[in-house]
Amino acid sequence: MSYRICVVCMGNICRSPMAEVVLRKTLDDHGLGDLVKVDSAGTGGWHQGGPMDARAAGVLSEHGYDGSEHRARQFLSDWYDRVDLVLAMDAHNLGALRRLAPDGADVRLFRSFDPAAPEGAEVPDPYYGEREGFAEVLEMVEAASKGLAEHLAVILR
């Protein structure tokens, strides 16, 4: 049985799919790809079925990642039955996810796994900004993904 993670942002077209793609590769690089299943979703469903934002996909591609197969989905409360860890991109998403969560659900901020990030650090939403915001998100996601992979290597091996 694999450990299951879902990364969640607002619409599942920018931050969470970037994190999903990066985290998958990071876990593979750490030899954990067969032990951990990574998914992503949004707290809202207005982009359901749509692709990743072109700016997010472009920044990923420039750094050797492939997000072309992503299709947006909405996180639903029954997903807690099949997910071990839910990672929110910001405090707003965290609050929405915790309101849906049953007792004992493991719901945290994604950047809580970045040892260099301050307590409560968020991944800001780049959607309404310029392309450089997506590059900043990628840096944050890569740092937190590395920390999460190191954490999982300890608890899953």
β 36-42/85-88 pair status: unpaired
Q: Are 22 and 95 in contact (CB under 8 A)?
A: no
Stated pTM of the model:
0.97
Q: Are 126 and 15 in contact (CB under 8 A)?
A: yes
Catalytic positions: 9, 15, 125
Q: DSSP letter for 112, please.
A: G
Residues 55-71 pLDDT 10s? 999 999 999 999 999 99
CATH architecture group of domain 3-156: 3-Layer(aba) Sandwich (3.40)
Tokens of 20: 């999903």
CA distances from 107 to 96, 110, 131 (A): 10, 9, 29
Averaged pLDDT for residues 133-152: 98
